[in-house]
Structure 1
Amino acid sequence: MRIPIVVPLPFLTADRDVDALAPATDDTDAITPLYEDRSRWHRAYRPGPWRVGGAALVLLPAGGVLFAALVMGLAGSLPGTAVCLVLAALLITLAVRLVRAGLWVSTRGLRQARLLSSVTLAWPDVAAVRTVQQPVRWLGLPRTVQGQALLVHRASGGPLPALVTDHNADFLGRPEAFRIAADAVEDRVAEHRG
């Protein structure tokens, strides 16, 4: 008779009920898993399958380019090897930025990471975070559909561009995960603003 071994992996439950991740005695830390340091930057949600799949598709040609660099290096073509290494480094950097895009929180503030830029706001600079119904971009493409967006309003100006929507690469086809992540970010803002 075989006895199944159960290994708890709390990081796999980020898109499920986040209350299960919080300690029973501490209700203020609903979005931070038990093992995570609150002073470090982290997301209120894990990357969605579309985001991870897109990054994997970018890494495929990077592997081919690295193999081409190896072949060129063995053949003695140093300029070709250098070009291939630079191209592979650019593709790997793009894949990492694709995965890291999103809304990040810590005890210091809120960070909105995009593909090529980031905006970091300290908690006093964040006026509010709200979920609104509006036209949103489908998977970041020019096509728009009606959906929900999590808007970050600055204390000294208007809102930041909507980065987290229910039709982006993290939440397409996962409306419950979007609701949980939006509630968790709103709770974190209320905790630090209050």
Structure 2
Amino acid sequence: MPLPFLTADRAFEGADDVPLPHDDRDRWRRPYRPGPWRVGVGALALLLASFVLFAAVIIAATAPPASAAAVFGIALIVIVAALRLLRMGVWVSARGLRRVGLLSTRTAPWEQVASVRTVQQPVRWLGLPRTVQGQALVLVRRDRSTGEVPPLLTTHNADFLARPAAFDRAADTIEAWAAEHSPGAAPVRG
């Protein structure tokens, strides 16, 4: 069964001669593949869920149905969390830029985007409190009233750790989308 959220859109890969390869501009797409850290954690969570589901079947055969339902509910929560983890990242379309997190999704229409740029700054390592020096793709909104906005992508997050070339390709693609769709926005390397 193909999982479309697990891989990047094939139109983005191997199309160096076309700056913004896409077929349907209104479809939300992630312009990069999820990293091995994210896929590995998702796979381990799904493996854990399979064991919990197996335990729910055993409990259903030997114990009251209420306890089996509780264990089955835990397995469903683990499966939903693993699928949401695999869906996390930055998505683009003609309508705007979307940052999908584990518990929330924020969408910025292109009209509200002042710029999308790559900056050198301290970034969190795999989302943990520890910070290291790296690059981050940041979104600057026109209203600037939202306060401190977390970076869209970093060189040390679960998608790009030890993959600087993949970060550069993803950042360039997202900056190109911003330059094409946002009125007055231009990509800036900093």
TM-score range, shorter chain: 0.7 to 0.9
**Unmatched 5+ residue regions in structure 2?**
1-5, 184-190
Number of residue pairs matched?
176
State the match for 1:183 in structure 2: 172
1-structure distance, mates of 2:102, 2:163: 22
Of 105, 124, 140, the match for 1:153: 140
| Aligned residues with identical type, % of pairs | 51
Residue 15 of structure 2 corresponds to residue 21 of structure 1: yes
Is the CA contact 2:38–2:85 (under 8 Å) kept in the aligned structure 1?
yes
Aligned to 1:6: none
Equivalent position amino acid for 1:122 in 2: P
User: In structure 2, what is the Cα distance between the partners aligned to 1:176 and 1:28?
Assistant: 17
Task: State the shift of 1:13 in Å.
Answer: 8.5
Return the offset for 1:186: 0.2
State the Cα distance separating 1:37 from its structure 2 match.
Answer: 2.9
SS at match of 1:150: strand
Which segments of structure 1 move beyond 6 Å, counting only runs of 4 or more?
11-15
2:156 aligns to what SS in structure 1?
A: coil
Mapped pair 1:42 → 2:42: no
1: distance between equivalents of 2:37 and 2:150?
Answer: 21
1:135-146 to structure 2, matched below 5 A, reads 135-146=122-133
Say which SS state the counterpart of residue 138 (structure 2) adopts.
strand
Q: Do the aligned residues in 2 keep the contact of 1:153 with 1:159 (CA within 8 Å)?
A: no
Alignment RMSD, CA only? 2.4
Q: Give the drift of 1:14.
A: 7.0
Q: TM-score, normalised by structure 2?
A: 0.84
| CA distance in structure 2 between the aligned counterparts of 1:54 and 1:83, rounded to whole angstroms | 24
Q: CA deviation at 1:109?
A: 0.7
Partner SS, residue 116 of structure 1: coil
Partner of 2:3: none
Residues 1:159 and 1:193: Cα distance change in structure 2 (over 3 Å): farther
In structure 2, how many angstroms separate the alpha carbons of the residues matched to 1:104 and 1:56? 22
1:88-103 aligned within 5 A: 88-103=75-90
The 5 A counterparts of 1:69-108 are 69-108=56-95
Is structure 2 residue 52 aligned with structure 1 residue 65? yes
1:167-178 mapped onto 2 (5 Å cutoff): 167-178=156-167
- Cα 1:175–1:189 change in 2 (3 A) is same
Q: Residues of 1 paired with 2:26 and 2:152: CA distance?
A: 23
8 Å CA contact 2:20–2:173 kept in 1: the answer is no
1:109-145 C-alpha deviation (Å, 9 max, x unpaired): 1101111111111110111101000000111111110
Describe the SS at the equivalent of 1:42.
coil
Structure 1 spans left out of the alignment, 5+ residues = 1-10
Q: In terms of mean alpha carbon deviation, does 181-190 or 158-167 score higher? A: 158-167
Cα contact 1:151–1:159 (8 A) shared by 2 = no
- The question of 1:113 aligning with 2:113 is answered no
